[in-house]
Amino acid sequence: MIFAQLTDIHLKAGGRFAYKYSDTLSFLRAAVAHLNAFRPQLDFVVISGDLVDLGTRDEYELFRQEIAPLEMPFYVIPGNHDDRDVMRAAFSDHDYVSPDGPLQFSIEREGLRIIGLDTSVPGHPEGHFDVDRQVWLRGELEAHHDQPTLVFMHHPPVRTGILHMDAMMLMRADEDFWPVVSGQPQILQIACGHVHRAIEVFKNGIPVSICPASGHQVTLDLEPDGEATFMLEPPAVRIFRWRDGELVNHLSFTDNYGPRHPFFDKYGKPID
Ligand SMILES: [Fe+2]
Ligand SMILES: [Fe+2]
């Protein structure tokens, strides 16, 4: 089974650029074309939040229109730029979308449990994991403790060293989140968005990954007084391969980098 994570699209109504320089509509189109062209064909895509920039109905309408060409099913969870209720209405045809409460899912595909956690709180940039969500996740992990599990969530439950982003990570992660997932050996990985760049952290025995955005990337600035800036570094998605009990993930860059070049000629000799 092969599937992808697409995150932090920040689409704006009318295809307006985000933050003046990020052509998020063109970036989304490139990502959709990339996901469709990927071979072997992807089984599904998880979209891990910040689908749009301001959370308006117009933005979600455009998002639905632009994601429609995607040739495989997709699942969504909200990020801090989403408006949960407007998003809920926009995806009411998705059967896991509940009429109220957090917008999250728990599915099983080919023996892999895939959980999408809603860490958003309306009106807040930072993530939260309140008691209701703790109870829900605990219940899912208990009910499926024998299934290898991959957890998607928008806000990372770890620090990255990019301080303006750490200020809006999952709040009280050590108090509220880690006690729920620690000591649960079935969790193979926690896959996040929000920070708009590729980051890997290993915490409490669990690998945590952050996926680059489909458009603009947050600047790698580890200075204590680093400002909130972004750069147009290469956009990417993560491609997951689940096979024989092993979960592998790759970054796959969505820009066009030209054709594939062979290492060997038709006689099997290295090309020199
Ligand atoms: Fe974002
Ligand atoms: Fe975010």
Reading across the β-sheet that carries 105-109, which strands appear in turn? Answer: 105-109, 112-117, 149-153, 187-192, 206-210, 199-203
Ligand 2: centre distance to CA 240 (Å): 21
Q: What is the dihedral of CA 16, 57, 216, 156, to 10 degrees?
A: 170
Q: Which residues surround the ion ligand 1 when the cut-off is CB under 5 Å?
A: 8, 50
Q: Are 207 and 200 a contacting pair, CB within 8 Å? A: yes
- CA-based nearest residue to 156, from 205, 192, 105, 125: 192
Which one, of 56, 57, 95, lies nearest residue 76 by Cα?
95
Ligand 2 centroid–CA 111 distance in Å is: 30
Contact 46, 1 (CB under 8 A): no
pLDDT reported for residue 203: 97
217 Cα: distance to centroid of ligand 1 (angstroms): 9
Q: Which two tokens stand for residue 25?
A: 């509509």
State the ligand closest to the CA atom of 8.
1
Q: How many angstroms does the Cα of residue 93 sit away from the middle of ligand 1?
A: 24
Q: At the topology level of CATH, where does 2-253 sit?
A: Purple Acid Phosphatase; chain A, domain 2 (3.60.21)
Question: In this prediction, what percent of the chain has a pLDDT beyond 70?
Answer: 100
Say what the pLDDT of residue 237 is. 98
Ligand 2: centre distance to CA 9 (Å): 10
Tens digit of each residue's pLDDT (9 = 90 or more) over 18-69: 999 999 999 999 999 999 999 999 999 999 999 999 999 999 999 999 999 9
Distance (Å, rounded) from C-alpha 76 to C-alpha 97? 9
In the reported structure, the alpha carbon of residue 31 is separated from the centroid of ligand 2 by a whole-number distance in angstroms of 18
* CB of 164 closer than 8 Å to CB of 190: no
Ligand closest to CA 19 = 1
Are the beta carbons of 133 and 118 closer than 8 angstroms? yes
pLDDT of residue 37: 97
Please give the mean pLDDT across all residues of the chain. 97
Ligand 1 centroid – CA 81 distance (Å): 7
Q: In the prediction, which pLDDT does 220 show?
A: 98
CB atoms within 10 A of CB 251: 13
Evaluated on CA atoms 252, 257, 260, 261, the torsion sign reads negative
